[in-house]
């Protein structure tokens, strides 16, 4: 699946501007670019095992989770917790742990408690990868599914946190096939 934009886009002063062939270019905010990337990625509700999350009674810990306003420290803690409970892979956990980290010149994290938009972070990473891939960066092809999975996990946590903490199960279904 290719990720990209239709039409000619160029970056001017931190905004995306679509080139219409004239001076009537309309600036597009970064949030529109992020929404476009997220719509291209879509959603995968099966990336998290909701039944296992219900068995572990995780709803209280995840209730109100907002990936658009999360700190790098809290996202790292959440991803470690999910990995330790077998809900996400090591690679996905590593991507979530490293999300939003900014380091000083000595490699020490700056502002780990500063909130950021994790969905925007991964959407922009996908956009950067796509641009590098066009220039022949084959390593980017391996990162695209991992960043998509990170987005799916964030969306799944957000949706699970919005629910009431119970999964509807059909008690009449027999386990025998």
Domain boundaries, the chain: 7-41, 43-162
pLDDT of residue 26: 45
Averaged pLDDT of the chain: 75
Place of tokens 């296992």: 52
CB 71 within 8 A of CB 46: no
Which own/partner contact pairs does 127-134 have at CB distance under 8 Å and 24+ positions apart? 127/3, 127/33, 127/37, 130/3, 130/4
d(CA 175, CA 177): 6
pLDDT in tens, 131-165: 766 666 777 778 888 899 999 999 999 998 887 65
Segment 51-78 shows an average pLDDT of 88
| pLDDT top residue among 138 and 67 | 67
Cβ atoms 67, 118 nearer than 8 A: yes
Q: Is the pLDDT reported for residue 1 higher than 50?
A: no
pLDDT above 80 (res 78): yes
pTM above 0.85, yes or no: no
Q: What is the pLDDT of residues 127-138, one digit of tens each?
A: 887 776 666 677
Query: CA–CA separation, 48 vs 93, rounded Å?
Result: 13
């Amino acid at each position: 699946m290719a990720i990209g934009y239709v039409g000619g886009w160029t970056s001017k002063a931190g905004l995306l501007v679509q080139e219409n062939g004239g001076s009537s270019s309309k600036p597009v905010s970064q949030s529109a670019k992020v929404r476009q990337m997220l719509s291209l990625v879509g959603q995968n509700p099966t990336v998290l095992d909701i039944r296992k999350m219900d068995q572990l009674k995780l709803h209280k810990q995840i209730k109100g989770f907002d990936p658009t306003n999360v700190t790098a420290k809290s996202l790292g803690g959440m991803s470690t917790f999910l990995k330790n409970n077998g809900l996400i892979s090591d690679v996905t956990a590593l991507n979530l742990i490293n999300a939003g980290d900014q380091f000083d010149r000595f490699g020490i994290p700056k502002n780990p408690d500063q909130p950021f938009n994790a969905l925007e972070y991964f959407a922009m990473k996908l956009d950067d990868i796509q641009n590098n891939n066009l220039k022949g960066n084959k390593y980017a092809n391996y990162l695209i599914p991992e960043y998509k999975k990170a987005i799916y996990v964030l969306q799944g946590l957000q949706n699970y946190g919005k629910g009431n903490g119970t999964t509807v199960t059909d008690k009449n279904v027999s386990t025998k096939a």
